[in-house]
Structure 1
């Protein structure tokens, strides 16, 4: 389940594939398992962002506690100028921070707080073409590397708890409306 390299533990999440708006599926050798959608009974916090301009070469702003305004740009390797951030960077930043928070919470609950205090979580988000020839466009693959925590059970507990991991594992409720 986990690959260990030196003092880092890697948990690849590369087997997940989004299959249209109808649901979430995970590919395992010779099997295709349907996934349900995780729904919320309430919400404790919400974040709001607005994209404008030329899409991936436009602008994105977030309002709230600490407003953020970023210029977006396609990476050079994807044919863009590379002079701004891209959604994959933002997703990697959010996922790594969220997973680290989940890891530290699970460490504290397990009486292993000192083990997770100096941990680092590295997220690599890959943008590419889906293996399924029937899916147009692009897909994502995520690899998380947990540094400084040798406890597989603790890492799994964080993966089970982290909202980003849950969204990728169980699906996410998405509603699209017109303004």
Structure 2
């Protein structure tokens, strides 16, 4: 695959994520009525995945349905570390995707930029870290079958100290509802 195709895929993924997530850019009154263009935190679905691993409480786990032609999927989760020592989410794997990367989206001036977080995500002692739309998130690549609302996606979260936990994330609407 040449650089042009890679750039187009990355731009497509960022655009789809922006269109299906909450916008970080300034919201106009027109945007309020557009599906997927709401501001503010997105509530996790009531049937979201939860789990406990040592001092880590995991909640709010879900993925969004993929739009037709969308090459990647997004996953979200909240991790609370009630312990006295920091931990780190080092990797995520899934039998539903060839690869799962940890990503971060940030505004750089007026441009939303996405990058892979290769060193993992720190979970400080006593802190809560949320992977949510348009911030840190799980990026499912080489998806075997597009995620469809009502389905489920198995994941294995690997932590530096606590070890690993298997969860099944429900698939919600592409709009996040």
TM-score, shorter chain, exceeding 0.5: no
The normalised TM-score by structure 2 is: 0.30
Question: Whose strand fraction is larger, Structure 1's or Structure 2's?
Answer: 2
Q: Normalising by structure 1, report the TM-score.
A: 0.30
